[in-house]
Amino acid sequence: MDLGKAHLGRLPNGVKDLFGEAAARQVWAERTLEATFAGWGYSNVVTPTIEYYDNLALGVDSQVRGMTYRFFDREGHTLALRPDITVQIARLVGTKLFGEPLPLRLCYIANVFRYGELQSGQQREFTQAGLELIGVDTAEADAEVVTMSVVAFQALGLREFQVSLGQMAFFRALVAMGPLGPVGLARIQEAVNSKNLPALRQILREEGLNGEAGRALEALPSLCGGREVLAQARRLSPNQAAHIALDRLARVYDLLAVYGVADRVILDLGEVPGMDYYTGITFKGYARGLGFPLLSGGRYDDLISRFGTALPAVGFGLEVERCLFALGETGRPLSLPPHLVVGGVWGAPVLALVQELREKGLRVEMDVLGREERALAAYARERGARGTLISDGDGRLALVEPSGRRAITRETLLAEAMTWQS
- 325-339: per-residue pLDDT in tens? 999 865 555 556 899
User: Which is more confident, 333 or 292?
Assistant: 292
- CATH of segment(s) 12-330: 3.30.930.10
CB 145 within 8 A of CB 103: no
Chain centroid, CA 171 distance in Å: 26
**12: pLDDT confidence band, cut at 50, 70 and 90?**
confident
Cα–Cα distance for residue pair 67/269, rounded to 1 Å: 27
Is residue 323 predicted with pLDDT exceeding 90? yes
Q: Chain-wide mean pLDDT for the chain?
A: 90
Cα–Cα distance for residue pair 114/317, rounded to 1 Å: 15
What per-residue confidence (pLDDT) applies to 211?
A: 80
CB 122 within 8 A of CB 321: yes
DSSP 258-326: HHT-GGGEEEETT---S-TT--SEEEEEEETT-SS-SEEEEE-SSSGGGTSS---EEEEEEEHHHHHHH
Is residue 365 predicted with pLDDT exceeding 90? yes
In this structure, of 6-20, 26-40, 70-84, 386-400, the range with the lowest mean pLDDT score is: 6-20
What per-residue confidence (pLDDT) applies to 121?
A: 60
Chain centroid, CA 319 distance in Å: 4
Q: What whole-number percentage of the chain has pLDDT above 70?
A: 95
- 108-167: per-residue pLDDT in tens? 999 999 987 776 666 888 999 999 999 999 999 999 999 999 999 999 999 999 999 999
- 182-226: per-residue pLDDT in tens? 788 888 888 888 888 888 888 888 888 778 888 888 889 899 999
Q: Cis omega (within 30 of 0) on the bond before 337? A: no
What per-residue confidence (pLDDT) applies to 329?
A: 65
User: Which is more confident, 421 or 43?
Assistant: 43
**101: pLDDT confidence band, cut at 50, 70 and 90?**
very high
Domain 340-417 part of CATH 3.40.50.920 = no
Is residue 38 predicted with pLDDT exceeding 70? yes
Is residue 179 predicted with pLDDT exceeding 70? yes
Q: Where are the domains of the chain?
A: 12-330, 340-417
Stated pTM of the model:
0.86
In this structure, of 55-69, 341-355, 369-383, the range with the lowest mean pLDDT score is: 55-69
What per-residue confidence (pLDDT) applies to 331?
A: 54
